Amino acid sequence: MERVNPATEAVLDPIDEHTDTAIEAAIDRSVDTYETWRDRSLSQRRRLLAAAGDELRENTMEYAEIATREMGKPITEAIAEIEKCAWVCDHYAEQADSYLADEVIRSEPHAKTFVSHEPIGPVLAVMPWNYPFWQVFRFAAPALTAGNTGLLKHASNVPGCAKAIERVFERAGYPRGVFQSLIVGSDAIEGIIEDDRIRGVTLTGSERAGRAVGGAAGRELLPSVLELGGSDPFIVLDDADVETAARVGTRARTLNSGQSCIAAKRFIVHEAVYDAFVDAFITEIESLSIGDPTDESTDIGPQARKDLMDDVHEQIQQTLRAGGTLETGGEPLDREGYFYPPTVVTDVPHDSPMGREEVFGPAAAVFSVPDEDTAVEVANDSTYGLGGSIWTEDLDRGEQLARRIESGCVFVNELTKSDPRLPFGGVKQSGYGRELSEHGIKSFVNEKTVWVQSADAQE
């Protein structure tokens, strides 16, 4: 599998793909290991997960540097990503027993009735390159601790991350077949899903990938979770703290060099504060440093691949031709690597690419609206529904508006983010199902109803 450092365009050592024979052996191993892994006590599985968290903390830089080298993530963000993976391990190590405890339900006087939460078997995870460790761990930490085994098909440009994640679990003491990385191309996914030994599928990726994987899982009647794209609204109301909204909005749009499903992408600003916000936002955007992702002072690294940078640029150019106004940025940097500057476009037509599509790069579309009802209307005028952010000094107002936004999560006076303690997922074309929290660990369990009739009731 070929790899290129997106910051330097240097060719990295390739990593061998798995053959059909190796894939078959890995699935066999996953099935065989599941038979013993499921019978391990929950306390044992929790201890191993805690050990995985310790491994991540003890070797944070080793893992962070792999992500930076393969997909260009600024090193400070890569370090934070590894630390977050350790956090999700800690969370489920601490909370899995309460999340998976039997749910007692009252029924007949002489019967004991409850729901038990039991694993289902090998689960295939199809994961993206943009958060190459976090996206995997937010699946693996709960799914493995619930007693399932996992098979990872990672993105083709981060095979080194895939191998490193497998190494984390090995170093933590997990049996070999509990978690395995399959170094294969996308053309192998459907065949793996169709294998009757696979019992569940989860994907984080594009809408196109979600349709393909979700369709294949549906044909096999497999439980699935899809976390797809987003075009999250960032609503700034007339009573907002404009300076704070601009500062946090800049971070919300440019995290991971703009390559995030839950990044703020459409900035919907009340006309009363529109000019002040745009001025403050542009100032913040232009203050960011763009450059070497291994330098801790860098804010914006390269786009992960040249074709991805080209796609973002074309979306921006089409929007400008449709009537948008370029405020800053808008051209790839003339330098080695796939660097695109943070870009702000105002007067964005609603039917232009930046108004209708997901822009997976550091480019913000800004809209002016006359009132909060219009803000909600514009926010919901999207095929996506992953996250959203609302800025207002009136918290009651913010909460009520949050209830009207069609998305899987809404944050008031905060950027949209994932948190191990909270369920995460989308609606509409942003997918279905939930990850993280108690909801996430139950995505791949059999919620089995058990009725135990008292002998006295038979007399």
Q: Which two tokens stand for residue 295?
A: 């330098």
- HSE-CB for 62 with a 13 A CA cutoff: 10
**Catalytic site residue 161?**
no
> Residue 455, Cβ neighbours under 10 Å: how many?
7
**Catalytic site residue 65?**
no
| Candidates 85, 89, 161, 261; catalytic one | 261
- Identify residue 246 by its one-letter amino acid code: A
Our separate counts of H helices and E strands in the chain read: 15, 20
Q: How far is CA 207 from the centre of its chain?
A: 13
Closest CA to 384 of 206, 255, 135, 224: 206
- Whether the Cβ atoms of residue 200 and residue 224 lie closer than 8 Å to each other: yes
Q: Which helix (H) or strand (E) holds 200?
A: strand 200-204
DSSP sequence for 223-267: -EEEE----EEEEE-TTS-HHHHHHHHHHHHHGGGG--TTSEEEE
- Whether the Cβ atoms of residue 133 and residue 181 lie closer than 8 Å to each other: no
- Whether the Cβ atoms of residue 384 and residue 229 lie closer than 8 Å to each other: yes
Q: Which are the contacts of 157, defined by CB distance < 8 A and separation ≥ 6?
A: 3, 4, 70, 71, 129, 304, 305
Distance, in Å, from the CA atom of 183 to the CA atom of 168, rounded to the nearest integer, reads: 16
> Residue 352, Cβ neighbours under 10 Å: how many?
21
- Identify residue 130 by its one-letter amino acid code: N
Q: Which two tokens stand for residue 157?
A: 């440009």
| Candidates 55, 70, 207, 227; catalytic one | 227
The stretches of 74-186 forming alpha helices (DSSP H) are: 75-99, 134-145, 159-172
- Whether the Cβ atoms of residue 1 and residue 163 lie closer than 8 Å to each other: no
Distance, in Å, from the CA atom of 379 to the CA atom of 345, rounded to the nearest integer, reads: 17
What are the catalytic residues? Answer: 227, 261
